[in-house]
Structure 1
Amino acid sequence: MTKNLDKDGLRSIVENYDIFYIDLWGVVHNGITLHKNAIEALEEITKANKDYVLLTNAPRPNKIVNNFLEKMGMNKEIREKVYSSGEAALNYLKKNSLEEKFYHVGPPRDFDLFLDFKKNKTNNIKESSYLLCTGLFEEQGEDLKYYKELFNDHMDKKMICTNPDLIVDRGEKRELCAGSVALVFEKMGGEVIYFGKPFPEVYNQAINNEGKRVLSIGDNLNTDIKGANLLNFNSLIISNGVHKDEIKKEGIDVISKKYEVVVNFIQTELKW
């Protein structure tokens, strides 16, 4: 059964762990503003001499995520803890696919990811060797049928997905993410290589967790919590995130069974 920490706070379990993987979007900020209580919790984790990583499914290099958080008002000591799915994907591309032509599926603002090899970007999907998916096109942000038609004659190509998230809440608005496009491609029979939670590589790249007691904190059962389960980490779900309506309606024990995950702890918001 999932234990509720709303009364006792994160402080009540902090000594049980050495490392905390903490999601950014939905836990530390909402895409627009920082969550004050979450920032306090991060500062207190440091005071307790514990390690943490701000592990985010953002299709951008660490440096770009860091700049975004700086504009939001996050201090340097906390920003330096960021590790992104974009960084993990970039490490893979540098080793494997930098010289091949690719077709970018996603908005222009994600160009930071392939700045070093932009000469290999083609605007003609027929000329590409692989597909690099960072999100949805700005003019096709809601219509997944468009992508099904786009991929129809290119199922022999591999897709690199830099953000496995299906959805995200930007303030009060819900948006589709790269994972939704990759799922379309996968259901059509295509091969997708994912970077980010719940896939183990991003956790292992971010920090040495060998032999450590780990707690993974996030608001997404499909990524944050499933990733924790796959790596045998304990997990804490923030209920005021992407699953808030489901959890409010049916409770975390019912919802976690639906998503086939184990959730050790729950908080409405990350709070020390």
Structure 2
Amino acid sequence: MSENLDNKGLRSIADNYDIFYIDLWGVIHNGINLHKNAIEALGEITKAKKKYVLLTNAPRPNKTVRLFLEKMGMNREIREHVYSSGEAALSYLKKNFLDEKFYHLGPSRDFDLFIDFKKNKTVDIKESSYLLCTGLFEERVDDLSYYRELFKEHINKKMICTNPDLIVDRGEKRELCAGSVALVFEKMGGEVIYFGKPFPEVYNQSIDNKEKKVLSIGDNLNTDIKGANLLNYDSLLISNGVHKEEIKKEGVDIVSKKYEAIVNFIQTELKW
């Protein structure tokens, strides 16, 4: 059974851990505004001389995510703790696919992920060696059947997915993410290489976590919490996130079993 920290706060367990992996979207902000209590909690973690990583499944390099957070009003000291799935994917692409033609699936604003090798981008999927998925096209944000039709003749190509999230809440609006497109491709028999939570590589690249006691904090059972489970980290689920309605109806223990995830602690919002 998950322990509720709404009354005791994160401070009641913080001393038990060396490192905190903390999700950004859904925990620190909602895509529009920073959460004041979460920002205060980061300050207290720093005061306690503990390390933390703002680990995000954003399909962008670290510097782009930091710029986004700066515009939101986050101070420089906190922004320096960001590590993104896009950064992990970029490192892999430069080592393995730098000279191969790719077809980009996602909004045009994600161009900064491949700016160093943009000459290899093709507008014709038939000419590509691999597929680079950062999200959905602006004009096809909720039409997964379009992608199913697009992939029909290209299942033999590898897809690199830079955001395993299926959905995200931008304020009060729910949106599909790159993981939903990748799932369509996988169900058709295609091979997807994922970068981001819950896959271990992004955790290991972001900070030295060897022989450290770790708490992973997030609002997504499929990514944040399963990632913690795979690496034998303790987990704290923020319930006022993507699973908010499910948890209200059924409770965290039933919902976490449904997702085959182990939740050690739960809070409505991140609060010290």
**Which secondary structure does the structure 1 equivalent of 2:87 belong to?**
helix
Which whole-Å CA distance do the structure 2 matches of 1:257 and 1:171 have between them? 27
Taking only the aligned residue pairs, the percentage that are identical comes to 83
Which whole-Å CA distance do the structure 2 matches of 1:43 and 1:84 have between them? 21
**Which secondary structure does the structure 2 equivalent of 1:150 belong to?**
helix
**Which secondary structure does the structure 2 equivalent of 1:114 belong to?**
helix
Runs of 4+ in 1 over 4 A off after TM superposition: none
Give the C-alpha shift of residue 97 in structure 1.
Answer: 0.2
Which whole-Å CA distance do the structure 1 matches of 2:30 and 2:257 have between them? 26
Give the C-alpha shift of residue 249 in structure 1.
Answer: 0.6
Aligned equivalent of 2:101: 101
**Which secondary structure does the structure 1 equivalent of 2:159 belong to?**
strand
Aligned equivalent of 2:243: 243
Tell me the alpha carbon deviations over residues 14-45 of structure 1, each in whole angstroms, 9 at most, x when there is no partner: 00000000000000000000000000000000
Which whole-Å CA distance do the structure 2 matches of 1:65 and 1:116 have between them? 17
**Which secondary structure does the structure 2 equivalent of 1:226 belong to?**
helix
Give the C-alpha shift of residue 73 in structure 1.
Answer: 0.2
| Structure 1: unaligned runs, 5 residues or longer | none
Map 1:216-227 → 2, pairs under 5 A: 216-227=216-227
Tell me the alpha carbon deviations over residues 51-92 of structure 1, each in whole angstroms, 9 at most, x when there is no partner: 000000000000000000000000000000000000000000
**Which secondary structure does the structure 1 equivalent of 2:247 belong to?**
helix
Question: Which residue identity lines up with residue 162 of structure 2 in the other structure?
Answer: T
Aligned equivalent of 1:153: 153
**Which secondary structure does the structure 2 equivalent of 1:212 belong to?**
coil
Which whole-Å CA distance do the structure 2 matches of 1:6 and 1:114 have between them? 42
Give the C-alpha shift of residue 252 in structure 1.
Answer: 0.4
Superposition CA RMSD, Å: 0.3
**Which secondary structure does the structure 1 equivalent of 2:11 belong to?**
helix
TM-score, length basis structure 2: 1.00
Aligned equivalent of 1:44: 44
Which whole-Å CA distance do the structure 1 matches of 2:227 and 2:49 have between them? 24
**2:211 pairs with 1:211:** yes
| Structure 2: unaligned runs, 5 residues or longer | none
Tell me the alpha carbon deviations over residues 88-129 of structure 1, each in whole angstroms, 9 at most, x when there is no partner: 000000100010000000000000100000000000000000
Aligned equivalent of 1:259: 259
Which whole-Å CA distance do the structure 2 matches of 1:144 and 1:155 have between them? 16
What is the number of equivalent residue pairs in this alignment? 272
Which whole-Å CA distance do the structure 2 matches of 1:112 and 1:170 have between them? 21
Map 1:49-198 → 2, pairs under 5 A: 49-198=49-198
TM-score, length basis structure 1: 1.00
